[in-house]
Amino acid sequence: MKLKSHVSALALASASLAGLADAAQAWSLEEAAKPYAGTELEVLFLDRPGYNAAIQMLPDFEAATGIKVNHTTVPYENALGEQVRDFVAGGDLDIALIDLVWIGNFAENGWLVPSETFINNPELADPALDMADFFPLVLDAFGSWNGVNYGLPFDNYSGLLFYNRCMLEAAGFDKPPATWQEVMDTYGPALTKDGKYAYALQSKRNETQSADSFARFLWPFGGSFLNAEFRSNLNSPESQAGLQFRQDLMQFMPEGIVAWDHAETVNALAQGDVAFITEWSAFYSTLKSPETSTIADCLGVAPEPAGPAGRRPALGGFSLAVASQADAAEQAAAWLFIQWVTSAANAGRYLELGGVPARQSAYADPALAEQFTFIPALVESWQEGVPEFRPRFAEWPAITEIVQEYGTRMMLGEISVEEGAREIGTQMEAVLEDAGYYSGAKPLAQ
Amino acid sequence: MTLRVPRRTIAAFIGPAVAALAIVGVAPLLYALWKSFHDFNLTQLARQRWVGLQNYQTVLTDSDFWDAIGRTALLFVSAVPVQIALGLAIALVLHRPGLTFWKTLTRLSLVLPMATTYAVVGLLAQVMLNQKYGVINQMLGWVGVDAINFIGDPTNAFIAVILWDVWQWTPFVALVLLAGLSTVPPEIEETARLETRSPWTVLRHVQLPFLIPSLVAVLILRTADTLKLFDMVFTMTRGGPGNATEFIAILIERVGNRQFDIGLAAAQSIIMLAITIVLARLYIRLFYREVS
């Protein structure tokens, strides 16, 4: 991915617009939206804190613009299918909600409008847009494909280590584990006792297995899904070491961890049953609220432990992009909404309401870092992530199903780590072969 | 005297039903058949093409498909005999004279599991069978049984699906068999009871012949239900852990809705339809007998 050149180009574009002082003074959301007053936008949302925050902010946007944003909340597991079917059928959605692993799929099928279309339109582009203010990793991973930006980061996560400080202190630890090896050698044995466990790794057979469990132990150990030739890298010594480490670490996890999804894992920490978990930053508000957590006062947040190859934390999140199936007025209105809800000006409020913005400027305020204790860890994590934590090409929906099946069977001991990795690799390469990556029909972009 | 009904009147009565069936049943079936001959993936629309029988060849040589068929068959032979045995026992109890109020109440309560949305049944199972917080394990704890890992263990998860299926569908079997028992002429049943004190003899030689049509109906409906069992398992285990509960409908949904390979999923569905039709014909040929 041409991350730097891509971000620079966007930054230049927005900066050049920002340089137009007259335009800057003339531009206002209200004026820009006047031609589109009465337009109704359709978008899918998830039932997560970031979306609830946006929903609370919506009345302000609608009052200022006269544009109505109709949001339908769906479970994450349905969001991809709902959107694919809508775009294939030429449906109603005007805004695409893009998980980072869907961006290749959506972009290659022509379902998105590149954001430059709007950034280069002075009537629609807010002079304060400032694309360079987004964390570069996040802007690239969540909203860009093959050097072109389509979406602006909206619901942004990094994997973080959430821990029960009181439980760690009672066991004689004054800080959380900094490396996975410490978890295995020191923290695991000391904290797994009396019906309590050191660690819970959500591993249910859905995207949780491939994203939260399988991939989490590939990257910090130097492994990856694919090598430079797009062949499976899962049987490399590094990948094998990571996957075997996950297997060995299960002795410090609750029984039946392969059936645990986010809810069970977050709940286990919130109820004081496990000492730490690695979860998405979005769960901070759940764990910090006394209404949903018994350890709110004991909650600590740190970056994920590092492996031999560094930290390489889990990376996930969603961007919003304008759907190409929308008509011109809807596209313009959709851009105005996306630009507004992800703006630096709104980032503070979004954060206050439970969202996690990807604006660097939002985290510069030390007072905010004190109020939201996950901020330093989050900012640190977004410096060290890898965009292809999960490959983002159109074939990921097929590959993730393979990973989910064999990743779970590995954990259950039904097949060895080596056999499972080989089986995933063989099937993964068959999918990529079929898609045309090895014949040169498709570029090796992930 | 035979009454001649004008053809237009017949068409007017039958037409709407035929049209509705054609729209909601036949047309999608033909579309699925057509798509099953294509390489048609929603995420790769640019390359859709006619591939003839290639999807069928892929399905028939796919070990995942046959494993899922095997699991579905195992579920059927495990759950349905239990449902029939329990259903018959309940039907026989409700068929006895007396206790009218309680029998009415029981009949009403039998409808509840069937009336509960499948997906909700699965969600209930997920919560109730939770190893740490589930009410089932809490109750087992009261009698000194250690908490069981119902959902996270492959064998336990399979057994849990069987038990949940039995809970939901035994009432259906009971009500169908109760209806079957009501077709036994009372005078024949009374005469039989005067001649023997053995309830088994009455069941075997008097009631069972009248129950055969009901049992065949139960077999056909439960076979179709098992083959299309999806919602409950999807919300309960999502086919896991591993692929321990990946029944055929879960597999087809995975291929069609999560991998977006509509062509392959259509071929799987058409093969499933063929299997269902063959099984239904077999049941009727082997088991169905008119009472003489």
A251 plus A273 within the same structural domain: yes
**A191 in the same domain as A111:** no
Tell me the percentage of chain A whose pLDDT exceeds 90.
70
Shared-domain flag, residues A72 and A36 = yes
pLDDT (average), residues A195-202: 95
Q: Which amino acid is at A9?
A: A
Can you give the residue ranges of every domain in chain B? 35-287
A22 and A130 belong to one structural domain: yes
Partner B contacted by A202 (CB < 8 A): no
Assess A414–B contact: CB distance below 8 Å, yes or no.
yes
Asked if A96 and A317 touch (Cβ cutoff 8 Å), the reply is no
pLDDT for residue A19 is more than 50: no
Q: Are residues A378 and A250 in the same domain?
A: no
Segment A381-425, tens digit of pLDDT: 888 888 888 898 888 988 999 999 999 999 999 999 999 999 999
Q: Tell me the nearest-neighbour CA distance from B50 into chain A, angstroms.
A: 15
Q: What is residue A132's predicted lDDT score, i.e. its pLDDT?
A: 95
Distance from CA of A185 to the nearest CA of B (A): 26
- A400 and A289 assigned to the same domain: yes
d(CA A225, CA A74): 29
3-state secondary structure A275-331: EEEEEEHHHHHHHHCCCCCCCHHHEEEEECCEECCECCCCEEEEEEEEECCCCHHHH
- Put simply, the answer to whether A412 touches B42 (Cβ < 8 Å) is no
Residue A139: closest CA among A275, A324, A315, A301 = A315
As for how many domains chain A has, the answer is 2
With tokens 């045309």, the residue in question is A436
Residues A16 and A148 in one domain: yes
| Same-domain pairing of A130 and A165 | no
The whole-chain average pLDDT of chain A stands at 90
Contact B154 A398 (CB under 8 A): no
What does the DSSP 8-state code read for residue B98? Answer: S
Say what the pLDDT of residue A7 is: 42
List Cα–Cα distances, B77 to A341, B82, B168, in angstroms: 55, 9, 16
Amino acid letter for position A133: D
Segment among A132-146, B80-94, B179-193 with least mean pLDDT = B179-193
List the one residue out of A368, A1, A390 whose CA is nearest residue A157: A390
The CA distances from residue A382 to A102, A279, A284, A294, A421, in Å, are 20, 14, 16, 29, 28
Residue A97 CB contacts under 8 Å (≥ 6 apart), including other chains: A43, A44, A45, A46, A79, A83, A154, A318, A320
The predicted structure's pLDDT at residue B1: 55
Give the DSSP H/E element, type plus range, for residue A154: strand A151-164
Domain containing residue A136: 3-156+316-387
- Mean pLDDT of the region B102-118: 87
Asked whether the beta carbons of residue A412 and residue B257 sit closer than 8 angstroms, the reply is: no
A175 found inside a domain: yes
A143 and A208 within one domain? no
Tell whether A404 is covered by a domain. yes
Contact A258 B149 (CB under 8 A): no
Residues A319-360: tens digit of each pLDDT: 999 999 999 999 999 999 999 999 999 999 999 898 999 999
Residues A191 and A79 in one domain: no
Please answer yes or no on whether A256 and B261 come within 8 Å at the CB atom: no
Residues A328, A206 share a domain: no
- pLDDT tens digits for A351-363? 989 899 999 999 8
Residue A446 lies in a domain: no
- What's the CATH code of the domain at A162? 3.40.190.10
Q: What is the pLDDT of residues A225-266, one digit of tens each?
A: 999 899 999 999 999 999 999 999 999 999 889 989 898 899
Q: Which residues of B touch A (CB under 8 A)?
A: 42-46, 130-132, 149, 151-154, 157, 237-243, 254, 257-261
Assigned CATH class of B35-287: mainly alpha
* SS3 state at A112: strand
Q: CA-CA distance, B212 to A111, in Å (whole number)?
A: 56
Q: How many residues make up chain B in this entry?
A: 292
- Considering only CB atoms, B241 lies closest to which of A259, A397, A401, namely A259
Enumerate long-range contacts of A2-7, CB under 8 Å, 24 or more apart: A2/A147, A3/A136, A3/A137, A3/A140, A3/A144, A3/A387, A4/A136, A5/A147, A6/A140, A6/A144, A6/A147, A6/A148, A6/A149, A7/A131, A7/A132, A7/A136, A7/A139, A7/A140
Across the interface, of A256, A257, A409, the residue whose CB is closest to B242 is A409
What pTM, to 2 d.p., does this model score? 0.79
DSSP string, A28-78: -HHHHHGGGTT-EEEEEE-SSHHHHHHHHHHHHHHHHH--EEEEEE--HHH
- Asked whether residue A228 falls in the same domain as residue A265, the answer is yes
